[in-house]
């Protein structure tokens, strides 16, 4: 099998190529509309069609990557992209641009290939950084945004598209030759994989997070140039450089976000990200001075970049067996996040004459994400505690202050024969053997109240009536205020004893 050291640069460069062709229409629109008469609504539709399909196709492409491998998907995608690229280079009508743009969306959909394939080559503790490096391939949008107009001025927009055809053919050949023919594949049906994940709340939370972080990146990339010129009176060159700076910060911080997710708790990283986006959105909503506005945009760029990298650290962590389809769903939501916010911002601007409501909405969505991720962080800690209890070899029984059983673990069932359903809501009397008198239990509780625990040998009774000896420890569980809320008993059966 080819090493990850070969696949990472190959797939990252392939993503750059995919994103370069993905935005070819929007980058050349100022030239295209000089030859093809288009209304403003038609222009919006032509530029939107590749984004929509490029987002939705990420779901099946992620699944197919797990089934057929990245070599087949990248090679096939670049070959298929040649067809709409040729078609667009000869386009002379709105319909031609729509048809060509529809299939150009494949360029954006190839994002799902690498985020599904690359984690197979690296240990889990490096998944965040690796996916971050790969995700930095979205710099391809910036390359085309600046390169395509330059080429169009010199050669014309049709020839510029045809030059991209040469690059597509080159990358198809590179992936065919250097792609991994022996990549690990999973032959599970789409419906079977989707059934396993569609009702998992983590999938939709991660999708919401990526909708916000990647959507913020795309929305600001699109709207910043015109806003800086119209609102602050900057010239187009200055506005372009500031926008390029925003793109550069967000793009190059994506691997940093993945690395941080590898080194630290990913939820803590996302808490910082969404807190920053919440504050930045509020700052921008009040249309401050250019200096404060620039600071707000930089915070957005930092949050979007780090957030994009950290989120894809969590996907293989929670969905290792269904990584293909989950990567597809999450990245599709991110793509749609890049489609809808710019439209909403434009709509609100046309209605109100400013972007304040849009920025306030960004702040509120970020705040909602912050609340969710804090909840997920604490849920993860609870799940960890539950897993420890469930997998310990000692029997565990938890009761409330009234002595009602609230939880037992599998080891308890193995020793006593009682399932959780049979003992929840009952008291420990259900397993008492009758061999100990009242004074025995009174001394036990005096020890718990005085020393904070009790431990010793005790006779109890199984479900089948058999009496057995166990070593039992009982301790109170207190909350942060020092108040006792539960009692936990942990026991081990003593199998070698004298009756």
Domain at 393-494, CATH class: alpha beta
Say whether pLDDT at 172 is over 70.
Answer: yes
Structure tokens at 359: 């920025």
Q: Which two tokens stand for residue 10?
A: 């190959």
pLDDT score of 191: 67
Q: What is the largest CA-CA distance in the chain?
A: 99
pTM comes to 0.69
Domain assignments of the chain as residue spans, ordered by start: 4-388, 393-494
At 338 the pLDDT is 72
pLDDT in tens, 332-359: 788 777 777 766 776 777 777 777 888 8
Q: How far apart are CA 5 and CA 65, in angstroms?
A: 19
Res 314 pLDDT > 90: no
Partners of 461 in the β-ladder: 467
Domain 4-388 has CATH 1.20.1250.20: yes
Residue 306 has a pLDDT of 93
Region of poorest pLDDT, from 5-19, 126-140, 270-284, 323-337: 323-337
Looking at residue 390, its pLDDT comes to: 77
Rounded percentage of the chain residues whose pLDDT exceeds 90 = 36
Q: Indicate if the alpha-carbon torsion angle 90, 95, 98, 102 is positive or negative.
A: negative
| CB burial of residue 291 (10 Å; 0-12, 13-18, 19+) | exposed
pLDDT band at 2 (very low <50, low <70, confident <90, very high): very low
């Amino acid at each position: 099998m080819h090493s990850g050291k070969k696949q990472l640069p190959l797939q990252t460069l392939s993503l750059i190529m995919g994103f370069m062709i993905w935005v070819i229409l929007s980058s050349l629109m100022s030239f295209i509309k000089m030859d093809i008469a288009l209304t403003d609504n038609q222009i919006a539709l032509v530029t939107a069609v590749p984004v929509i399909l490029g987002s939705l196709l990420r779901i099946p492409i992620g699944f197919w990557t797990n089934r057929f491998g990245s070599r087949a998907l990248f090679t096939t995608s670049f070959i298929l992209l040649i067809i709409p690229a040729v078609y667009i280079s000869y386009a002379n009508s709105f319909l031609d641009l729509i048809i060509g743009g529809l299939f150009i969306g494949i360029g954006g959909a190839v994002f799902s290939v690498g985020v599904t394939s690359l984690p197979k080559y690296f240990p889990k503790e490096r998944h965040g950084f690796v996916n971050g490096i790969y995700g930095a391939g979205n710099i391809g949008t910036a390359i085309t945004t600046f390169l395509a107009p330059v080429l169009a001025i010199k050669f014309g927009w049709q020839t510029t598209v045809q030059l991209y055809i040469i690059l597509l053919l080159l990358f198809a050949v590179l992936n065919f030759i250097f792609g991994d023919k022996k990549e690990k594949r999973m032959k599970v049906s789409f419906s079977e994989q989707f059934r396993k994940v569609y009702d998992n709340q983590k999938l939709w939370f991660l999708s919401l997070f990526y909708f916000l972080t990647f959507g913020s990146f795309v929305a600001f990339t699109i709207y910043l140039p015109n806003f800086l010129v119209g609102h602050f009176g900057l010239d187009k060159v200055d506005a372009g450089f500031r926008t390029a700076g925003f793109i550069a910060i967000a793009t190059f911080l994506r691997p940093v976000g993945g690395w941080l997710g590898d080194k630290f708790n990913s939820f803590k990283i996302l808490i910082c990200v969404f807190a920053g986006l919440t504050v930045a959105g509020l700052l921008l909503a009040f249309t401050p001075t250019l200096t404060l506005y620039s600071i707000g945009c930089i915070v957005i760029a930092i949050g979007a970049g780090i957030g994009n990298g950290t989120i894809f650290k969590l996907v293989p962590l929670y969905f290792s067996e269904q990584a293909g389809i989950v990567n597809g769903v999450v990245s599709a939501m991110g793509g749609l996040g890049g489609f809808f916010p710019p439209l909403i911002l434009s709509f609100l601007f046309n209605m109100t004459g400013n972007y304040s409501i849009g920025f306030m909405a960004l702040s509120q969505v970020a705040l909602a994400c912050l609340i969710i991720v804090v909840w997920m962080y604490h849920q993860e800690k609870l799940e960890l505690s539950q897993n420890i209890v469930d997998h310990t070899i000692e029997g565990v029984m938890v009761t409330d202050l009234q002595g009602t059983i609230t939880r037992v673990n599998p080891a308890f069932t193995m020793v006593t024969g009682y399932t959780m359903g049979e003992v929840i809501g009952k008291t420990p009397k259900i397993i008492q053997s009758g061999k100990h008198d009242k004074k025995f239990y009174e001394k036990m509780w005096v020890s718990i109240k005085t020393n904070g625990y009790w431990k010793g040998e005790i006779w109890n009774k199984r479900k089948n009536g058999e009496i057995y000896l166990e070593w039992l420890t009982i301790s109170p569980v207190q909350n942060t205020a020092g108040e006792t809320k539960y009692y936990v008993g942990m026991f081990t059966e003593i199998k070698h004893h004298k009756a």
